[in-house]
Every structure is written in structure tokens, then in C-alpha cells.
Amino acid sequence: MSLFMIKNKLLITTFLIISVLPKQVNAQPAYHEQYRPQIHFSPKEKWTNDPNGMVYYNGTYHLFFQYYPDSTVWGPMHWGHATSTDLIHWQQQPIALYPDSLGFIFSGSAVVDKNNTTGFGENGKVPLVAIFTHHDPKRAKAGKNDFQNQSLAYSLDEGKTWIKYSGNPVLRNPGITDFRDPKVLWYEPEKKWVMTLATKDHITFYSSLNLKEWTKESEFGKELGAHEGVWECPDLFTLDDDGKKMWVLIVNLNPGGPNGGSATQYFIGDFDGKTFTSSDTATHWLDYGPDEYAGITWNNTGDRKIFLGWMSNWLYANVVPTEKWRNAMTIPRELKLKHAGDNIYVASEPVAELKKNQTKQIKAENILIDKNYDISKKTGATNLPCQINLSIKELKDFSLSISNDNGEEVVIGYDKKQNQYFIDRTHSGKNDFHKGFAAKHVAPRLSKSDKINLTLVIDVSSVELFGDNGLSVMTEIFFPSKPYSHINIRSEEGITIQKLEYTGFASIWN
Ligand code: FRU
């Protein structure tokens, strides 16, 4: 090769490098951008809010989600779609439902119509049926009160493609401005479908034999629970209590959550196919943190009840500092009834499937914390994402800080005097996008045990706290200027950690 040719090649190569450089400098590999959750689902790009249409069918977990493919702020809603065989690794699929002449596609659920009650099935193919809210923006703008109606779509290829029902809407609005988010279940004793619908400040139950014609059964909750905001995204299902079946009604609320903004409350009681009755009058929160909302459960998972929430808060969801996408989902959680003292609660813990994604596990026992202890002494490097489990046999103040070298940290702990867990993100990093984001949040400790059991699921921009096997739960997001790389446990008066377990996770996007 002559010098001229080499030079020329160099020139051409240099030109090529320069011409692609601006892009390469900014471009970070997909799903590895700053703040991108590494063990939580988030869409590849653009806006998401509520999880929708969650249904398990033929070995696949379907997750649909409120999605706006044209922007990173909320807009005309579509149903995005993702699938998983293990609830942890997700494949984003083509958009399932687009807005149409009846409006945007708001939240709702999906069922497996095994008996073909709808008649949508063809040639023995079982229809998956989505029941969702059509939100008509024109009628909303015109000041009408009937702009939200319930509609159907079905799929005969296991969720790949969807056909909207020609008879939509199937449940018309009687004149209630907030009339949305249908969650449908099969009520076996009467072989009928039951729809739980959020109707402004209460729940309305409807029933149907074919998902197309609905009869109003009853109303619940005008005088019960938290009411500082609108009731949205409900769910109704059973959980086992020592062999006895109890009914649980989830009602999401915005605003009015225990730490401000949106949050998920629930009622435990009985449902007879027509009416729900709550067994107590107290308000219960499934997650006390600011960043779990619109959480509901998967349909068709047998005795297991798996819950998933949106990991954000309507107070700031539109302005959090991510560029390519906005917002993510929580870790899927298994729900169980648990007793504490005379009370019964819905407890949630990360699904067991999460552990299958572990790359490293280190266990240590009887660690004396004298003021400050860097856990990497036992665990080696403390890379995120990870899970930390702590067992402590005494009730004393302690905290765990996740921090970086820029002096930013999230502090998670237990305050004995108040008998509360807390997460303090006051100095966690970027927080100027919303007044009030930099704050300390608390959750009551509900357990009566004198032994603390704490599980923390920590991703690059979130922490989920599961206290006492899921009795007190908090979810919180944060945006450090540099990834957190240290984890320290602190106790002023000294404390012994009976068991410390550190589990490192692989990115689910590798
Ligand atoms: C809850 C919610 C739902 C509604 C959807 C619209 O976050 O407001 O009530 O269906 O979001 O995107």
C-alpha cells in the first residue's frame, strides 16, 4: 500500500469518525443510560405510567402499560406491551392499542376468556380480552361529564395483535367525570364476570355474562378509606388466611397518599358476587413510599397473587430528569395476608424469581456496628443493582446509607422512638425539578415482633424497602449525579446485625 493510499485511507477513516462522533459521544448503549433501572421494567423510550392488562397465559406474563410513543411527557394514551416468562426479564413488543375515534386508551385489565363467553373465539382459539377506558378528549374539553366509557378489544394470537370490538363502548358513562380503570375477574360461584370500576370517590361493581352487557351491582367506599383525591385503578381478588378465603379491594388514590401525592390503599373484607364489605374502618396502605402508584395484580396466576406498580408519583412524574424514557415499574411483588397483633394486613415481598438473576451472594453473621460500618468489608465491591437483607434481634435506631463520592446519599433506617421506618432522599442528588422532592418519608412499623427483618431492593435510581417480611413497604426514586457505590450501616448506640445478606444482580437488559 503506498503512502498516498494509507494517508487517504486515514483521511477517509478520520472523516468517517468525525462525522459520526457527535452522535457517539452522547449515545449510551440502550438500557444502560444514566438512571436507567437495571432490574426494573422501563420502556426503551418515551413516556409510561400505569401497568395495564396484566395477564398470565400459556407460560407468558403480559404487561401492558399506559404509553405515549411520541413524547417523554404524558399525552394521548396507548397501551404499550411487554412480555416475560419470569417476571424479571422483559421483551418490549409492538404497541397493542392505539387511540381511535372514541378516544385515548386509558387504564384497564385483560382476561383469558376460556369459555368463549364473548364469542370472540374462532376455531378453538382462546380469546384474550382487554377491558379498558376510552377517554374522549374532545368531550372532556367541551366540559361534558360523560367522556370516559368502558370498551373491549380482543386477541386471538396470545396478545400479539388486537382487534377493537365493533360494539364499543360496552359500558356507558351515567354522568360521572371520573369513570374509569376497569379491573375484571371471573366470579366462579355464579359463573359471571365482575368489573371493579373507579367512579370518582367510590367503587362501583358491575357484572356480566359475556363482557359486553353489564349490570350495576353495588357501590362501595364513599365513607371509608382515604378521600383526599380521586379514586383510580382498583383491583379485587382473594388471598388465603390460614385456609380461609378473604377478599382484598385495592384502591389507588391521587392525591392524598401518606407521604404526599399518589399512593395505593386497600381494604380487607368479603365479597358475595354483588357487594363488598370491609372488615375494618382503618385506612391501610400497600406501600407508604411516594413512588409506587396504580399498582394492581396479574390475572390468571392461580393461587399466587402478583402485584406491580408504577414507580413514580403524579407530583413529578412528568419532570423527573431522564431524557430518553420517563418512568418505570416496581419489582413484581407477591401479596400475602399476614397477622400482626390483632390486625391483619396485606404484605408484599419481591417475587422469588428475582433471586434467579443473582450473580453474587455473600452472607455474614454477627456484625457489630459501632457507629459506622462499610459493608464492602464483608461483601467486596457493592455494585448496584443489589438486594440487602438484614436481621436484627434488638429494636434500636439504625440506618443504612447508599452514597457516592460527590457526597450524595439516600439514608434508609428505623427510628425506635417513632417506631417508624424512613427513607431520606434530601441529599440524594438531582432534586431541583420539583419542590418537595428532597424530603424524608416515613412508614409505621406494623410488626409487633422485637426482631427486625429488612429487605432492600436497590437499583441505580430506586430503593424498595420491605420491612418485617413485607408488612411495612416503601418505594422511593432518586437521581444521583454519579452512581452510588458505597453502602454503610450506621448506629450511634451500637447494634449487632445477626445476619447480613448481600445479593448482586445482573442487568436484566444484557
Ligand atoms: C392513573 C390514571 C388512570 C388513568 C390513566 C391515564 O395514574 O390517571 O386513572 O386511566 O392514569 O393515563
pLDDT tens for 312-340 read 999 999 999 999 999 999 999 999 999 99
> Is the distance from CB of 108 to CB of 150 less than 8 angstroms?
yes
Ligand 1 pocket, residue 292 CB under 6 Å: no
Q: What is the mean pLDDT of the chain?
A: 94
Please work out whether the CB of residue 148 comes within 6 Å of at least one atom of ligand 1: no
Which is nearest to 268 in space by CA: 240, 304, 306? 240
What integer is the mean pLDDT of 252-258? 98
Q: Is the CB of 463 under 6 A from ligand 1?
A: no
- For residue 294, the CA-to-ligand 1 centroid distance in Å is 8
Rounded to whole angstroms, the Cα distance separating 350 from 462 reads 14
- Collapsing DSSP to helix, strand or coil, 237 comes out as strand
**Ligand 1 atom at shortest distance from the alpha carbon of 50:** 7
Contacts 24+ apart (CB under 8 A), 277-282: 278/220, 278/221, 278/224, 278/249, 279/246, 280/343, 281/224
133 lines ligand 1 (CB under 6 A): yes
The pick from 48, 49, 68, 314 for probing ligand 1's pocket by mutation, whose C-beta has the most ligand atoms within 8 angstroms, reads 49
* Tally of CA atoms within 13 A in the half-sphere of 306 that contains its CB: 24
The secondary element (H helix, E strand) that includes residue 198 is strand 192-199
DSSP letter for 335, please.
E
Instruction: State the distance between the two ends of the chain, measured CA to CA, in whole angstroms.
Output: 41
For 370-406, write each residue's pLDDT tens digit: 999 999 988 888 889 999 999 999 999 999 999 999 9
Give the DSSP letter string of 201-224.
TEEEEEEESSSSS-EEEEEE-TTS
Task: Report CA(197)–ligand 1 centroid distance (Å).
Answer: 13
Q: Quick check: CB of 459 below 6 Å from ligand 1?
A: no
Residue 21 pLDDT more than 50? no
> What whole-number percentage of the chain has pLDDT above 70?
95
Does 294 contact ligand 1 (Cβ within 6 A)?
A: yes
The Å distance, Cα 220 to ligand 1 centre, comes to 20
Q: Residue 42 Cα, ligand 1 centroid: separation in angstroms?
A: 17
- Residue 286 to residues 345, 415, 471, Cα–Cα distance (Å): 9, 20, 9
| 31-83 pLDDT, tens digit each | 999 999 999 999 999 999 999 999 999 999 999 999 999 999 999 999 999 99
Known catalytic residue at 50: yes
Q: Answer yes or no: is pLDDT of 13 > 70.
A: no
pLDDT of residue 4 exceeding 60:
no
What does the buried/exposed string (b/e) look like for 445-467 if buried means 16 or more CB atoms within 10 Å of the residue's CB? bbbeeeebbbbbbbbbbbbbbbb
Q: Residue 379: is it exposed, middle or buried by C-beta count within 10 angstroms (0-12/13-18/19+)?
A: buried
Distance (Å, rounded) from C-alpha 216 to C-alpha 319? 39
CB 150 less than 6 A from any atom of ligand 1 = no
Closest ligand 1 atom number to CA of residue 232: 9
For 318, the 3-state DSSP assignment is coil
CA–CA distance, 457 with 70 (Å, rounded to integer): 31
DSSP state of 480: -
- What single DSSP character describes residue 383? P
> Which atom of ligand 1 is least distant from the CA of 133?
10
Task: Report the nearest atom of ligand 1 relative to the CA of 66.
Answer: 12
Q: Can you tell me which atom of ligand 1 is nearest the CA of 262?
A: 7
Q: Is 263 in the pocket of ligand 1 (CB under 6 A)?
A: no
Assign 282 to helix, strand or coil.
coil
pLDDT band at 27 (very low <50, low <70, confident <90, very high): low
Residue 37: which of 327, 332, 387 has the closest Cα? Answer: 327
CA-to-CA distance for 237 and 301, rounded, in angstroms? Answer: 11
CA dist., res. 274 & res. 259, Å (int): 33
Residue 308: CB partners within 8 Å, gap ≥ 6? 51, 54, 63, 295, 296, 297, 298, 329, 330, 332, 333
Percent of the chain with pLDDT over 90: 92
Q: How far apart are CA 80 and CA 78, in angstroms?
A: 6
- 457 CA distance to ligand 1 centroid (A)? 26
For the sheet with 202-208, list strands across it.
179-187, 192-199, 202-208, 215-220
Is residue 409 in contact with ligand 1, taking CB distance under 6 Å? no
User: CA–CA distance from 245 to each of 189, 218, 237, 296, 336 (Å)?
Assistant: 13, 21, 10, 19, 12
**Ligand 1 mutation pick, 47, 48, 50, max ligand atoms within 8 A of CB:** 50
What residue has cell string 369513570?
179
103 with 83: CB under 8 angstroms?
no
Give distance in angstroms: CA of 479 to centre of ligand 1.
25
Ligand 1 test: best mutation among 106, 264, 296, 329, most atoms within 8 Å of CB? 106
The answer to whether the bond into 169 is cis (omega within 30° of 0) is yes
CA dist 362 and 378 (Å) reads: 8
Comparing 15-19, 245-249, 411-415, 481-485, the range with the smallest average pLDDT is 15-19
- Residue 467 backbone phi and psi in degrees, to 5: -90, 140
Nearest C-alpha neighbor of 212 from the set 235, 190, 195, 188: 195
pLDDT at 28: 81
Catalytic residue chosen out of the listed positions 50, 136, 287, 468: 50
The answer to whether the predicted template modeling score (pTM) of the entire model surpasses 0.85 is yes
Q: Ligand 1 atom closest to Cα of 198?
A: 9
Q: What span, in angstroms and rounded, lies between the C-alpha atoms of 309 and 307?
A: 7
At residue 122, does pLDDT exceed 60? yes
* Residue among 134, 139, 176 nearest 153 (CA): 134
CA-to-CA distance for 211 and 130, rounded, in angstroms? 10
Atom of ligand 1 nearest to the CA of 107: 10
Q: Which of 119, 120, 221, 134 minimizes the C-alpha distance to 172?
A: 134
Alpha-carbon distance 310 to 313, whole Å? 8
Query: How confident is residue 195, by pLDDT bands cut at 50, 70 and 90?
Result: very high
pLDDT of residue 55: 98
Cα dihedral 34, 35, 38, 39, rounded to 10, equals 180
Tens-digit pLDDT profile for residues 210-219 = 999 999 999 9
Higher pLDDT: 510 or 250? It is: 250
The reply to whether ligand 1 has any atom less than 6 angstroms from the CB of 232 is: yes
Decide: 107 in ligand 1 pocket, CB within 6 A. yes
Q: Kindly state the cell numbers that stand for 507.
A: 442487568
116 Cα: distance to centroid of ligand 1 (angstroms): 29
| Any ligand 1 atom below 6 A from CB of 199 | no
| Phi, psi angle pair for 378, to nearest 5° | -95, -30
β-strands 306-310, 293-297 pairing: antiparallel
| Residue 122, strand partner residues | none
